[in-house]
Each structure stands twice: as structure tokens, then as C-alpha cells.
Structure 1
Amino acid sequence: MISIKKIVVIVICAVIVVLGIWGLKYLISIQQYQKIISNLKIDTIDLSNIHDGKYTGSFNTEYVGAEVSVVVKDKKITNITLLNHKNERGKPAEVILQNVVKAQSLQVDTVSGATNSSKVILKAIENALNSAK
């Protein structure tokens, strides 16, 4: 007959193993996320090649994602709407939409403290504009 002590020890060991596996998976996913963000490049877009219209684009990582709608008229970005923004602390990055419209370029500064969300939003805008080609 198994004593209560042995059952408690087995349960505690099982919980430690499960938590260890979960923690390891979490650390691996964080490393992959950081690698994706650090390797993320925002290309220059030539608006002269983009016809008038409304274009949707998105970019997602495990922790941050964005979906945007971009309106182009007369070879200019006239409006960008953020349709979805999955973020951690990246809400301040949403100002980047106005910066892109003002600059008519994706080559704008990222928002300090929301750099990852800034990059993801810019990549979503790039993907939207690339879908117009």
C-alpha cells in the first residue's frame, strides 16, 4: 500500500516536471520572438507604383501582431486604419500610423518603449502596400 507521503511526493514531482517543461517552452518561444523582431526589416515602398485603392495587410509574431487597412489616392497614402493590434505594452506605437501618412514613407522612427509593436505595424503596412502590386 502506497503511503500518503509517497503520493504527495509523486504529485509534487509531476508538477515540477510539468512546470519545467512549460517554462522551457516559454523561454524558447521568447527567443524565437526576439529573433524575428531583431531580423525584421522594413523595406522602402515606391508609391508611384501603387494604384488608388484600399489595401489590407498584416504581420504577426507569437506575442505582437497587427492588421491594417491602407488607403492610397493619387500616389499618396491618405489613411491608415489599425484593424487589429495584438500587443503587450505596445499601444503607444499606434501613433506610427499618423507618422507614416505624414512622411509618406515607412522609414519613420519607432516609438520608444513600443519598438516591437512599431516594427510589426510598419511591416503590416508594408505588406498591405506590397499586396497592391
Structure 2
Amino acid sequence: MKNYIIAGVVIVVLAGAIFGFTYLNRVKNYQEKVGNIVIEDVDLKEIKDGKYIGEFDADVVAAKVEVEIKDNVIKDIKLIEHKTDRGAAAEVIPQIVVDAQSLNVDVISGATNSSKIILKSIQNALD
């Protein structure tokens, strides 16, 4: 009986260590991806009329958008998907971009990473 208890404890400790390592590695990759995001404004004069899909996935946070261009103007941006834990406040970014007609907008305080990921999704749609 004692051997079964020891084996059970060893299994639980190993499973916890594997889970912890996997989680820490995922967080590290997420931080690197977000830290490397560069948002470049786009020249709307170069983009033909149409609807464009763009996405960016940083593991923990991801976004997918549909951007509508008409007459060299961003008419609408739909946030199709936004995977986040605490960045819901950034979901106003698409409207801010439409209003500014630019990707050069401020991020939302408290939702900085989600803001950057949504902006990068918009840029990817327009690239």
C-alpha cells in the first residue's frame, strides 16, 4: 500500500512539473510575440475596394478581423474573433481605426497586448 501512495505522489509531482513547464513556456512565447509586434501604417491609396481578412495569434491572445475598403477609405472593421482573458476593453480598437483612418492610434490602457494584436490583425488584412 505504501508503494502505491509513493507512486501516486511521484506521478502527481511529475504531472504538475510538466504542466508548469508547459504553461511557463507558453507565457514566454506569448510575451516574445507581443514584444516583437511592430504596427506599420498602411497606404490606403494602394488598397483596392473589397473585404480583407487578417489575423494574428500570440497563443494566449489572438484576433481575427474583416476590413472593408471602399474608395480608399476604411468603411468598416468587424472583429470576427478575439481570444483574450482580460483584454476585452481593446475591442473598441477597430472603431478607433475607422475613425482615424489610420493604424497609428493609441492602445487601450489595461488592454495593451490585445490592442496590439487587434491592430496587427488589421495590418495583416491590409498588407
Matches within 5 A, 1:108-123: 108-123=105-120
Matches within 5 A, 1:69-80: 69-80=66-77
Paired with 1:27 and 1:92, the residues of 2 have a C-alpha distance of 25
- Give the superposed CA RMSD: 0.8
Residue 53 of structure 1 corresponds to which residue in structure 2?
50
Q: Which runs of 5+ in 2 are unaligned?
A: none
Q: Which runs of 5+ in 1 are unaligned?
A: none
Give secondary structure in 2 for the equivalent of 1:51.
coil
Structure whose alpha-carbon radius of gyration is higher: 1
Relative to the length of structure 1, the TM-score reads 0.92
Q: Give the paired residue count.
A: 127
Paired-residue identity, % = 47
1:65 to 62, 66, 85: 62
1:10 to 7, 12, 23: 7
1:30 to 17, 27, 30: 27
Give secondary structure in 2 for the equivalent of 1:121.
helix
Q: How far does residue 41 in structure 1 lie from its aligned partner after superposition?
A: 0.5
Paired with 1:66 and 1:84, the residues of 2 have a C-alpha distance of 5
Paired with 1:62 and 1:82, the residues of 2 have a C-alpha distance of 18
1:92-113 residue CA offsets vs partner (Å, 9 max, x unmatched)? 1011111100111101011111
Residue 92 of structure 1 corresponds to which residue in structure 2?
89
Matched, 1:128 2:125: yes
Residue 41 of structure 2 corresponds to which residue in structure 1?
44
Paired with 1:125 and 1:37, the residues of 2 have a C-alpha distance of 15
Paired with 1:98 and 1:44, the residues of 2 have a C-alpha distance of 16
Paired with 2:46 and 2:122, the residues of 1 have a C-alpha distance of 15
Paired with 1:44 and 1:119, the residues of 2 have a C-alpha distance of 13
1:46-102 residue CA offsets vs partner (Å, 9 max, x unmatched)? 001011111111111211111111011111101000111111111110111111001
